[in-house]
Amino acid sequence: MYPLLFRAVLSRFDPEFAHHAGMAVIRVLGVPPFSWATRALTRPDPSLRVEALGLTFPSPLGIAAGFDKNAVGVRGLAALGFGHIEVGTVTAIPQEGNPKPRLFRLIADRAVINRMGFNNEGADAAARRLAKLRRGAPDAVIGVNIGKSRVVAVEEATADYVASATALAPLADYLAVNVSSPNTPGLRGLQAVETLAPLLRAVRVAAGETPLLVKIAPDLTDEEIAAIAKLAVAEQLAGIVAHNTTVSRDGLKTPDAEVEAAGAGGLSGAPLKERSLQVLRVVREVVPEDFCVIAVGGVETAHDVNERLAAGATLVQGYTAFLYRGPLWGREINRGLVGR
């Protein structure tokens, strides 16, 4: 039903407008009595609970950062059956992001290209919303993904991340340091081990008892990925989010002219499936068994989630498939996982 509705109606709308309209509906679903009815349809089976990061996740499937940038839809997403919601990316300084248009569908590939540029209302606004959420916490884990403010020089990035961590760590179930978005100039350069080590060390201190993870890019070599994974362990991080969007355009079904018209940005969705599994396996080979690895990229079905869990993922996140499969996607995955 939803795929037909998407192709016939929703795909005709500007992608960013459609996302905001969808988020408005999600917010309504998080408010009683709508949330009661929604939860009755979507609540994950108790057998799907996962213990990780010192927390209990109702389901291994969560929503990746980028979907709810300002922590406005957490209750609705939790009501739809997602075991955790990673809000953000949040920056210390509010910013509008890149000029529009900046979000593009590649329907033939079930993929999206985005160059949003960390558009968000800033750490203080996110902290106020999270504090309100904590007064009536939803049945889901809330992670917060933090990034570098665009106006801050790369040389001053550590202090910028520390400011966000200081404001948000007391209100987050975990923090994820985003050094891997392709849409903030100079950001991916922070993934070099010699640069990343002092940054993670400082943010970990600021995070205190809140579990800290780092989110990496799929465009690194396997050797670079392994080196960052080993660094995360050495710096006593709680885990890794593997991975962000890619700048690659290899193997797409969408006509080249359409891809080129979309321009620069990170690609997400079905085309990342194989690379996601490869990155997951590289990370899992070099980290301890109890180290949390969150797999992201190309996740569409319960089989995809199960495949990642079998390959060593602790948890799994999705985003793009939600756009193509609709609001009951989380329920579809959770029901498919029961008994596997």
- For the stretch 257-286, pLDDT in tens is 999 999 999 999 999 999 999 999 999 999
pLDDT of residue 304: 96
Q: Give the HSE-up count for residue 232: Cα atoms under 13 Å, Cβ half-sphere.
A: 29
pLDDT of residue 4: 60
Nearest alpha carbon to residue 231 among 186, 177, 273: 177
How many CB atoms within 10 Å of residue 205?
Answer: 12
pLDDT of residue 5: 53
Q: Does the reported pTM lie above 0.85?
A: yes
Assign residue 199 the CATH number of its domain. 3.20.20.70
**For 45-82, how does the pLDDT look when each residue is reduced to its tens digit (9 = 90+)?**
999 999 999 999 999 999 999 999 999 999 999 999 99
Classify the C-alpha dihedral 236-237-239-241 as positive or negative.
Answer: negative
Give whole-number Cα distances, 157 to 149, 151, 229, in Å: 8, 10, 21
- Answer for the pair 152, 189: CB distance below 8 angstroms, yes or no: no
**For 298-334, how does the pLDDT look when each residue is reduced to its tens digit (9 = 90+)?**
999 999 999 999 999 999 999 999 999 999 999 999 9
Q: Considering its fold, how many domains does the chain have in total?
A: 1
pLDDT of residue 140: 80
**For 148-176, how does the pLDDT look when each residue is reduced to its tens digit (9 = 90+)?**
999 999 889 999 999 999 999 999 999 99
pLDDT of residue 135: 80
| Complete DSSP assignment for 14-42 | -HHHHHHHHHHHHHHHTSTTHHHHHHHHH
Angle of helix 222-234 versus helix 193-207 axis, rounded to 10: 30
- Answer for the pair 325, 269: CB distance below 8 angstroms, yes or no: no
**For 212-248, how does the pLDDT look when each residue is reduced to its tens digit (9 = 90+)?**
999 999 999 999 999 999 999 999 999 999 999 999 9
pLDDT of residue 316: 98
| Residues belonging to the active site | 181
How many CB atoms within 10 Å of residue 329?
Answer: 21
Q: Domain of 310?
A: 2-337
The band of 99, judged by pLDDT with boundaries at 50, 70 and 90, is very high
